[in-house]
Chain A
Amino acid sequence: MAGKLLSSRLATLVLLAAIIAVVPLLAPSAFYLRVAAVVWVFALAALGLTILMGYAGQVSLGHAGFLGIGGYAVAIGPAQFGLHPALCLVIGAALAGLLAYLVGRPILKLKGYYLAIATLGFGVILALIFHSESQWTGGPDGMQVARVTLFGWRLSGAVNWYWVTGGALMIGAWIALNIGASPTGRALKALHDSEVAAAGSGIDVSAKKLAAFVIGAVYAAVAGGLLAAMNGLITPDAAGFMHSIELVAMVIIGGLGSVFGAVVGAAFLVVLPQALTFMHDYEQAVLGFLIMAFMIFLPAGIVPTLRKWLLERLS
């Protein structure tokens, strides 16, 4: 009973909704809400990787590239073509999905380290394009993103963005949970463990991997679009290698394959650097040390370890 509850879709959603609802009541200032909104955005991007890496077991070290596509779509669309930012968010997501579809076909034939390096290369190329096509992207300094108005209402300030990003994360989590519990999710988890047996069961392994890659790219692009619009700025760094690694780290620290884990992992890697700023020069070192410690002591990730511990106590 307890186990069923802990692993049910509804429980995860209710818990997530409760957290999103409670944070504003506890946050002493708008700054905290801003940090939380950044957590929600990165959690959304990490959820895409949860589907690709956690469910299907396919690594991507270039996922921030898709984040960049979403971000630049929201920046370039309104500035160059006078399009509405919300429409640009959709266009960015579609472009990222299409690119993932085209690139994924050859790339996903690779496995393990080879796939990791190929996706890494892909991310580097995208970051390079954002860097060098300065007539479109503003080059290394990035570009401003116009303020968003929705139905005549100006979307600005930490509070508004908090709810927009929180809502987006809820939708993203809901979809990720649905996939996990569906025939598609079972197929992805199956090929993660044995491609041979999955194919033997009639699963079109390359088509399923591709679907996971495309879905993951769309998640990242939506997150990137929200991040750019919220910050009013997008730079090539957003699409950079370090961000890709951060996304992977979020998924693994939180717990590979766990939807709630992606949120916890994102919180870990967004909040900790903020919390450690008082250490000045040692901030990075301490962060690295903490990441190592968590991986050594909780190799399954924070959420699965906690869940197992809870289940053992309850039964």
Chain B
Amino acid sequence: MSLLRVEGLGISFGGLVAVDNVGFSVEAGQVFSIIGPNGAGKTTLFNLVTGIYKPLRGRVTMGGDDVTGLAPHLLAKRGMSRTFQNLQIFFRMTALENVMVGRHMAERSSLLSDLLGLPAADRQTRATREAAMGLLERVGLSDVANATAGALSYGVLKRLEIARALAASPKVLLLDEPAAGCNAVETEAIDHLIGEIAKSGVAVVLIEHDMKLVMKISDRVLVLAQGRHLAEGPPREVRDNPAVIAAYLGDHGTREADRAHG
């Protein structure tokens, strides 16, 4: 049974059908990429899957359970985590605290012990801090742990979001353009990180414009165009699909993909 399965999902805004009858499924340990030109509906698809928008049509299931239209925090409890294309950072908190918030669901302290500052609450905070520190290390950000997030650069915040999403110990991780605005070194690091995450058994859904990255790390690729499913398959196949080349990749994209394959 697929960890994440999406069937016939659709939504419109006014007259615009932003996502139209899109389906796919992702298995544990897979990197599933979604590509498509700007405005194709990729982020909207994420918003539908993660409960930010309620789908007009279609179904989302996790491990066979219907989770269509569940509130985001309930989907998170079922093991769905995501990052955001337009950063959603807790800007007033430190980098470490951002990741600590990501551990929220693992925290076991009652409101009462939080109010009274009982040892249980402090113990929990210490445990959370330690786990968060480990995650910052994993994404290579331990040196900025105590910096206020608002003062950090875009590329750093992209990785911070990944650390925060990982803090929730997700089964399904959706990454919306994690390498956007990152330099070559940072992109390389993110590439490596995504590979590791998938290897640990997480189902990774990736939206990415960096074709080199997509061709390299994806198990499967879904191409969206104008809200619709255009093609799906292994990276090589999708790259060579004439419809995809015509509608999306164009000359420039194919060249990039070629280079990726060396």
Contacts and interface: CB of A to CB of B under 8 A. Distances in A.
Interface stretch (A188-196, A264-272, A283-291): A188-196
A7 to B, nearest CB: 11
A199 B116 contact: no
Interface residues of A, number: 30
A211 B111 contact: yes
B218 interface: no
B25 interface: no
A183 B93 contact: no
Interface in B12-28: none
Query: Of A187, A190, A203, which is in contact with the most chain B CB atoms at under 10 Å from its CB?
Result: A190
Interface string A191-234: 01110111111111100000100010000000000000000000
Contacts of A174: 117
Query: Of B52, B81, B88, B100, which is in contact with the most chain A CB atoms at under 10 Å from its CB?
Result: B88
Contacts of A204: 73
B76 A202 contact: yes
Contacts of A186: 93, 97, 100-101, 104
Given A177-B117, A192-B92, A200-B50, A187 B72 contact: no
A183 B109 contact: yes
Nearest to B88: A197
Contact of A189 (B92, B105, B109): B92
A99 interface: no
B102 interface: yes
A203 B84 CA distance: 17
Nearest to A175: B115
B225 interface: no
Contacts of A182: 109, 113-115, 117, 121, 124-125
A21 to B, nearest CB: 22
A193 B100 CA distance: 14
B138 interface: no
A185 interface: yes
Given A186-B101, A189-B90, A204-B73, A197 B84 contact: yes
Interface string B39-71: 000000000001010000000000000000001
A287 to B, nearest CB: 30
Contacts of B159: none
Interface residues of B, number: 39
The SS class assigned to the B binding surface is: helix
Contacts of A203: 73, 101, 104
A200 B81 contact: yes
Contacts of A202: 73, 76-77, 104-105, 168
B171 interface: no
B168 A199 contact: no
A243 interface: no
B239 interface: no
Interface in B109-148: 109, 111, 113-117, 121-122, 124-125, 128
Contacts of B91: 193
B107 A183 contact: yes
Contact of B90 (A178, A190, A215): A190
Contact of A184 (B77, B90, B92, B114): B114
B166 to A, nearest CB: 11
A181 interface: yes
B180 interface: no
Interface of B: 50, 52, 71-73, 76-77, 81-82, 84, 88-93, 97, 100-102, 104-105, 107, 109, 111, 113-117, 121-122, 124-125, 128, 164-165, 167-168
23 contacts: A174-B117, A175-B116, A182-B113, A182-B115, A183-B104, A184-B115, A189-B90, A189-B97, A190-B104, A196-B52, A196-B72, A196-B84, A197-B90, A199-B72, A199-B73, A200-B50, A200-B73, A201-B101, A201-B164, A201-B168, A202-B105, A202-B168, A204-B73
Interface of A: 9, 174-175, 177-179, 181-187, 189-190, 192-194, 196-205, 211, 215
